[in-house]
Amino acid sequence: MSEIIIETSNLTRKYGTKLSVNQLNLRVPKGSIYGFLGPNGAGKTTTIRMLLGLIRPTSGQIRIFNQEIAKHRINILRRTGSLVESPSYYGHLTGYDNLHVVAKLLKVPVKRIDEVLEIVRLTPAAKQTVKGYSLGMKQRLGIATALLGNPDLLILDEPTNGLDPAGIHEIRALIKDMPTQHGITVVVSSHLLSEIDQMATHVGIIDHGQLLFQDSIGKLREQSAPLLVIKVDKPDEAQQWLQANGYQVIIDGDLLQLSNIDVETTKSINKQLFQAGFSVYHIKEHRRSLEDIFLDYVGKEGSL
């Protein structure tokens, strides 16, 4: 069983009578890229702020590195890097000098600055003033700052927000390298399923403060397994006939649906229905997209 880096138990945060986070039970395995996915306003940032000790839970517990954050916050944060919302920087200073300021505060060796610049691919721009950086470069500088302390855990809140496609690609590639190249477990929040799908190994879907799904990205993709959809003249009778012949069939309106059917079985079913006296008007494979599955969890108002 994988070691769990972040574990929350019934984590809850109220603002007055409003539940922002409701009994959240997160499990983030070591070495994973955990995609924390949900519409805007779902409770992602509130959860992240609690994980970082920036706000206190109303109730529930947080354990990071198998330590309770309420008792060992300083030790935990020494091993954790984070980027919440927009990165802070001094626009008139160079990228290198911005990192040097933070390195002095963290009391890390100066050589670590060059290491993190290399990791985020900013070495060529290290001597340029940050006010001339693109938004993507500023985000990478923010991640470099989070990496200065050589963390075991990196928490990123919507790191691709507002970036153009090239910037999104850069951040995505950077995140994917973290576990394999640097041994860092990553939690990355997003309201964009397409982003999480391309980089996460594990997914948690949150909406209205509640965790609706949590597992590997593979388990989520399994829910997009294809359905065989058949339209026949007598769907009720055809369903009974197919079930009598060993098939699992459900009716949706006037359509029959069968799951996990391969091409050869599709041909056989079509032939058998015809021989049994049914008229098959239409037969096709329908595969639900991950976006369809996401919307099933969060409702049609969920942002993609």
Q: Tens digit of pLDDT for each residue in 85-121?
A: 778 899 999 999 999 999 999 999 999 999 999 999 9
pLDDT at 74: 93
Crossing angle of helices 135-147/165-182, nearest 10°?
A: 20
Q: Is 300's pLDDT higher than 60? A: no
Q: Calculate what percentage of the chain has a pLDDT beyond 70.
A: 97
The residue with greater pLDDT, 259 or 32, is 32
pLDDT at 11 over 70: yes
Percentage of the chain beyond pLDDT 90 is 70
Q: Per-residue pLDDT for 1 more than 90?
A: no
Kindly tell me if the per-residue pLDDT of 295 is higher than 70.
yes
Domains and CATH numbers, the chain: 4-219 (3.40.50.300), 227-287 (3.30.70)
Predicted TM-score of the model (pTM): 0.81
Checking if the pLDDT of 181 tops 80, the result is yes
Model confidence at 279, in pLDDT bands (50, 70, 90)? very high
The pLDDT of residue 260: 72
> What's the mean pLDDT when you consider all of the chain?
91
**Which one is predicted more confidently, 288 or 158?**
158
Name the pLDDT band for 194 (thresholds 50, 70, 90): confident
> Which of 78-87, 175-184, 201-210 comes out lowest in average pLDDT?
78-87
